[in-house]
Amino acid sequence: MYAKPDSTPMTARVARAGDAMDAALKSLSYPTADGSLPETVRDLNGMRNDNAPALTPVRPVEVAPQPPSAQRVPNEIALGRPSREEAEAAVRTLLRWAGDDPTREGLVDTPARVVKAYDQLFGGYRQDADALLERVFEEVEGYSDVVLVRDIPFYSHCEHHMVPFMGLAHIAYYPTKGVVGLSKLARVVDTFARRLQTQETMTAQIADVIESILKPRGVAVMVEAEHLCMAMRGVQKAGVSTITTQFKGVFKTDPNEQVRFLTLVRNKG
């Protein structure tokens, strides 16, 4: 037995071999320079390869937005900031809307006084809480126990009604690389209080900046305040106290540390 010779003409056999070669080339996929495959894969001859496997598009990594408390330094407030004259004119408008005459003797200087008062009441927008904590005293004879500053008075304004709320802040932290001046913690409270605020956000901001700059083993913050927007308007319930807390580090992971903090805050003896 012997193989029957192929009677196909030589030109036809060459063409058939070429077709097989093209089919093989079209099945190849070549990555791009960055290692990924193009959406339309081409073979060595630049021909489109429709047999390439479908590629799953790579979705960009979604980054969760930062909470408001992360923005400790507000955006440039001078950008588009009204002039003092414009601010005083706005106060006159509010006086007229309230039903009074801004040109009468008792109110003629009120717009200027209000603008001057706002410059102080909301001076926290121009202060950098991070910078307040940059100077650390490392020579503390190896002290590593808790540092507690309690009963820090503050005055702030509710961002919903621009009505004051006031109270006390208590701050504790476990130092690692050193301690910060005690007055600086009070200044941090003032920095965030002298902005339009919610008590919850202010509590988180104080804890965040201390943790970020001092790198302590733990931070605990308690804020207790009375809100005049609840006492003077709306439900009109005076004397109601609101308490918020924020725990980080060992204060967050160890319930015993939370109990110790709360005990130290409440023990006035």
Residues marked active site are found at 158-161, 199, 227, 229
Q: How far apart are CA 202 and CA 221, in angstroms?
A: 10
Q: 97 exposed, middle or buried (CB, 10 Å; 0-12, 13-18, 19+)?
A: exposed
Q: Write the DSSP string, 7-63.
A: -S-HHHHHHHHHHHHHHHHHT-----TTSPPPSS-B-TTS-B-TTSPPPPPPPPPPP
Which amino acid is located at 205 in the chain?
Q
Cβ-based neighbour number of residue 14 at 10 Å: 11
Beta strands 164-174 and 218-227: pairing type? antiparallel
Contact at 8 Å (CB) between 92 and 102? yes
Cα 53–chain centre separation: 43
Helix (H, G, I), strand (E, B) or coil at 69: helix
Helix (H, G, I), strand (E, B) or coil at 246: strand
Burial string for 17-31 (b: 16+ CB within 10 Å, else e) reads eeeeeeeeebeeeee
Helix (H, G, I), strand (E, B) or coil at 137: strand
Which amino acid is located at 143 in the chain?
Y
- Residue 108 tokens read as 């003629």
| Cα 230 to Cα 28, 70, 74, 168, distances in angstroms | 72, 27, 27, 18
